[in-house]
Chain A
Amino acid sequence: MSEENRTSLVESNGFAFLSPEVVASIQDYFPRYPNRRAVVLPALHVIQESLGFVPKGAVLELAQVLGIPASEIEDTLSFYQFFKQDRPLGKYRIWVCRSLSCALCGGENLLEHLREQLGVQPGETTPDGRFTLEAAECLGACECAPAVLINDKLYPRMTQEKLDSLLKELP
């Protein structure tokens, strides 16, 4: 975000990472649970969807919003290995499944192919910020193996060629 936006955030509620909208979204979850700790996971999703990652600063601010120790949030966050902390996710997060059914149908090769094409290891993001490559364990789409999940869309029965053209066509 731009410097001036960040400054005005700091002025409004003292937060440098969590915008008022994000804080409001998180607070929307409060009535669902008897305590605020249960909001940790939904809140982490809200933050990652908004910022593209969950930097340590956001964890400290979330601790204030929820009223629980920051270390306990970081503890939960790191367990899932779903949330990035160093830099934002790419525009497209590409999950290539490599569990048994997809592996039998070539999932490992797809992963290897993308690793070469994009020049990143699973877990990493391309320098242009476009793609984050992830190796997934069973996406639950075994009937259309090998499956690839990109952001919110599942792509069935992928091949190297289909993947290549798909990545080119993505806006």
Chain B
Amino acid sequence: MGIVIVDGKEVEIGPHERLNGIQAAARAGVEIPHYCWHPGLSVVASCRMCLVEVGTRDPKTGQIVMLPKLVPACNTPAKDGTVLATNSEKVARARAMVEEDLLLRHPIDCPICDKAGECRLQDYHFKYGQAERRAEIRPFTSRKRDIGDVILFVDRCVMCTRCVRFVREITGTSELMVVNRGSHEEIDVLPELPLNNKLSGNVVDLCPVGALADKDFLYKQRVWYLRRKPSVCALCATGCSIWIEENQDRIHRIKPRENPFVNQWWICNEGRYGYPFVHHPRRLRGVWQRQNERLLQVNWPTAIGRIADMAQNARRPALCLSPFLTNEEAYLACRWFKNAHSASIVSLGPIPYQGEDEHFPGGFVISAEKCPNRLGVESVAHWFEQPPLPFEELLTQVASGQIDTVIVLGGYIKPWITPEQAATLRGASHLIVADLFPSPLSDKADLILGTTAYAEHEGSYVNRRHRLQWLTRAVRPPMGNRSLGSVFWELNGMNGLYQPKSILAELASSIPYFSAAAGEVPEHGVDLRVNQLATQETSSKQFTA
């Protein structure tokens, strides 16, 4: 246990914590501005924006002795007795100097730069910079350079080297380099080796200014119009925590949300750029009933009635759960289903796989399993059916006539069923399909339900490491679509609006696997295996001096 004094205020640091000055100050509620430091990357202390005064407090006498020189807070360990002064005149002058230096040659592109509104250069200039420009250098060059996965606006760069360190330390791909010397330095790539790796989008997040720009987001939206909601990526079993940033129900950007237990500060490109399907024009919208080869649009009350009828009047109905359902949806569906028919059987939909798990030197993993909630859905299914029917077995039983009614709850992002499999399932007398996109199956279904994607509903997923995380709804679904959670809430006879949190509570109290999820789900999720809530402990990537 130690005490660090920041601007006269005491903060405690744990005995095993290794914090630097920036982190200790943050704990005291004090911002130390910085460009080049990042908790996930090596420390270079080159931007010099975080310069502070440091000293020590004698444990016996309490006397404080400050060092005469400024030191970079990012490279200063915060130990018991460390004293930091972050708002002295010396510090203020140093910050103003660094800020002025960075603006000397920086093209004033704010009106045309994506970063405006979330740019450290802007923010720090406003807070710590000086009012009048004294340099006569007029930077007119604002070069745009395509370096592969992202765009580089060369002259905006402040040489923090975060991007270079990222591709050297986290992805191990080393495409980015610094060329030249002194004030002529630039970031560049070899033409034969452009920036091209599966985590490349993260360099745009890392860039503290608008030098690196996302090709996907370029010129699309001003960031101050975006609202962000915390959620979880649905593209693979890693389950990265994300921010969904939207404006008027249109997602414009996905950003990684810091989670020391899952993705730290990163997200892969598939997850980052994988949201357009949410707004794809081919999405299933509304509810459709097929009668005599014709599709008629029906309303939800009718649809819900039809679902209930088909289930009750079946000889042996099957419910097929995709690994894209939230835990609450799976639970409500199963609970209703098992009550609706004594011979009902729960089955599992196919799990989409692609390639192998990809491990990166920094520890990040892209899962081969391309769905967000296999563990959660399977655990729910196992609770209601011992064992749940594998998909192949479902096909066999439909083909043999044992199962005559099939309700498929999809939510698959990519094509997931072959025409042959669809034809087999069509062998059932009644076929209900809820999904995001048309498929060979929905082309044959009696009842087609347009349902919600991950950004459009509230609930929880369990990732590959048994961490349960909460999704917040970010955008409204296409008009006419309802979340399966709300559909089965109604089918279960529950009144009022769908309350997914209450269903999670029920899950936690009924199914042992989910017992750790009792109570409010913390921002970083909860590890279901350890049966204790995740604490706010700092991440595994600590400051190392």
Interface residues of A (CB under 8 A from B): 56, 59-60, 69-72, 74-75, 78-81
In the complex the two chains form, is B181's CB within 8 Å of A71's CB? no
- Among A60, A69, A75, which residue has its beta carbon within 8 angstroms of that of B179? A75
A81 contact from B175, B177, B178, B180, Cβ within 8 A: B180
Expressed in whole angstroms, the minimum distance between the Cβ of A101 and any Cβ of chain B is: 23
A and B contact pairs by CB, cutoff 8 A, 19 listed: A56-B192, A60-B190, A69-B173, A69-B174, A69-B175, A70-B192, A71-B174, A71-B176, A71-B177, A71-B190, A72-B168, A72-B174, A74-B177, A74-B179, A78-B181, A79-B178, A79-B179, A79-B181, A81-B181
A79 CA / B184 CA spacing, docked (Å): 10
A79: B residues at CB distance < 8 A = 178-181
Determine whether the beta carbon of B190 is less than 8 Å from that of A59: yes
Q: Taking chain A's interface residues, is the majority helix, strand, or loop, or is none over half, making it mixed?
A: helix
Q: Which residues of B contact A71 (CB under 8 A)?
A: 174-177, 189-190, 193
Contacts of B496 in A (CB 8 A): none
Residues of B within 8 A of A72 (CB): 168, 174, 177
Chain A residues with CB under 8 A of B189: 71
Q: C-beta contact mask, B163-190 vs A, less than 8 Å → 1, else 0?
A: 0000010000111111111000000011
A81–B184 Cα distance when bound, in Å, is: 11
B191 within 8 A of A: yes
A63 to chain B, nearest CB (A): 9
Residues of B participating in the A interface, judged by any CB pair closer than 8 Å: 168, 173-181, 189-193
* Given known A56-B190, A60-B190, A70-B190, contact A75–B181 (CB-CB < 8 A): no
Residues of A within 8 A of B192 (CB): 56, 60, 70
Chain A residues positioned under 8 Å from B177 (CB to CB): 71-72, 74-75
Measured between beta carbons, the chain A residues less than 8 angstroms from B176 are 71
Give the docked Cα–Cα distance between A80 and B173 (Å): 24
CB A37 to nearest CB in B, in angstroms, measures 12
Inter-chain CB contacts under 8 Å: number:
40
B175 to chain A: closest residue by CB: A71
CB proximity of A62 to chain B, nearest CB, Å: 12
Q: B174 contacts which chain A residues (CB < 8 A)? A: 69, 71-72
The distance in angstroms between the C-alpha atoms of A69 and B164, with both chains bound, is 13
Rounded to whole angstroms, the CA-CA distance of A52 and B428 in the bound complex is: 77
Chain A positions within 8 Å of B190 at CB level: 56, 59-60, 70-71, 74
Residues in A whose Cβ lies below 8 Å from that of B181: 78-81
Q: Determine the distance from Cα of A78 to Cα of B190 in the docked complex, in whole angstroms.
A: 12
A9 to B182, CA, bound (A): 38
Name the 7 nearest CB pairs between A and B, nearest first.
A69-B174, A75-B177, A78-B179, A71-B177, A79-B181, A78-B180, A71-B174
B260 to chain A, nearest CB (A): 29
A60–B192 Cα distance when bound, in Å, is 9
B179, B180, B189, B190, most chain A CB atoms within 10 A = B190
In this complex, which of A60, A70, A72 has the most chain B Cβ atoms within 10 angstroms of its Cβ?
A: A70
On whether the beta carbons of A56 and B191 are closer than 8 Å, the reply is yes
CB neighbours (8 Å) of A59 from chain B are 190
Nearest A residue to B192, CB-CB: A60
Q: Which residues of B contact A78 (CB under 8 A)?
A: 178-181
Q: Which residues of A contact B191 (CB under 8 A)?
A: 56
Which of chain A's residues has its CB closest to B195's CB?
A71
Bound-state Cα–Cα, A81 to B193, Å: 22
Q: How far is the CB of A14 from chain B (nearest CB, A)?
A: 15
Can you name 15 extra interface pairs (CB under 8 A) apart from A71-B176, A78-B181?
A56-B192, A59-B190, A60-B192, A69-B173, A69-B174, A69-B193, A70-B192, A71-B174, A71-B189, A72-B177, A74-B177, A78-B178, A78-B180, A79-B178, A81-B180
Q: Which residues of chain A are near B178, meaning CB under 8 Å?
A: 75, 78-79
**From B168, B179, B180, B193, contact of A70 by CB (8 A):** B193
Q: Which of B177, B181, B189 has the most CB of A within 10 A?
A: B177
**Distance between Cα atoms of A70 and B180 in the complex (Å):** 16
How far, in whole Å, are A74 and B181 apart by their CA atoms in the complex? Answer: 12
Bound Cα distance from A71 to B174, whole angstroms: 7
Report the Cα distance A71→B445, complex, angstroms: 55
A60: chain B residues at CB < 8 Å are 190, 192
How far does the alpha carbon of A69 sit from the alpha carbon of B174 in the complex, in Å? 7
Chain A's closest residue to B164 (CB) is: A75
Complex interface: chain B residues within 8 A of A80 (CB)? 181
Give the nearest-CB partner of A77 in chain B.
Answer: B179
Chain A nearest CB: distance from B154 CB in Å? 14
Q: What is the minimal beta-carbon distance from B169 to any residue of chain A, in angstroms?
A: 13
Residues of B within 8 A of A75 (CB): 177-179
Smallest CB separation, B75 vs chain A (Å): 23
Nearest CB on A from B253, distance (A): 28
Q: State A60–B178 Cα separation when bound (angstroms).
A: 17
Which residue of chain B has its CB nearest to the CB of A56?
B190
**CB closest residue in chain A, given B174:** A69
Nearest B residue to A68 via CB reads: B174
A residues within 8 A CB of B175? 69, 71
Q: With A and B bound together, what is the CA distance between A112 and B168 in angstroms? A: 43
| Bound Cα distance from A60 to B173, whole angstroms | 15
Measured between alpha carbons, how far is A74 from B188 in the docked complex, in Å?
10
B66 → chain A, closest Cβ, in Å? 36
Question: Using Cβ atoms and an 8 Å threshold, which residues of chain B touch A81?
Answer: 180-181
Chain B residues contacting A56 (CB-CB under 8 Å) are 190-192
Which residues of B have CB within 8 Å of A70? 190, 192-193
Task: State in angstroms the CA–CA spacing of A79 and B188 once bound together.
Answer: 13
With the chains together, A65 CA to B175 CA distance in Å? 18
Q: Smallest CB–CB gap between B438 and chain A, Å?
A: 45
Q: How far is the CA of A75 from the CA of B178 in the complex (A)?
A: 5
The residue of chain A having its C-beta at the shortest distance from the C-beta of B167 within the complex is A71
A78 to B193, CA, bound (A): 17
Contacts of B179 in A (CB 8 A): 74-75, 78-79
Which A residues are CB-close (under 8 A) to B173?
A: 69
State A60–B420 Cα separation when bound (angstroms).
49
Within the complex, the shortest CB–CB distance from A15 to chain B, in Å, comes to 15
CB closest chain-B residue, reference A79: B181
Per the bound structure, the CA–CA distance linking A81 and B180 in Å amounts to 7
A27 to chain B, nearest CB (A): 23
In the bound complex, residues from chain A placing their C-beta under 8 Å from that of B168 are: 72
CA of A71 to CA of B191 in the docked complex: distance in angstroms?
A: 10
Q: How far is the CB of B530 from chain A (nearest CB, A)?
A: 40
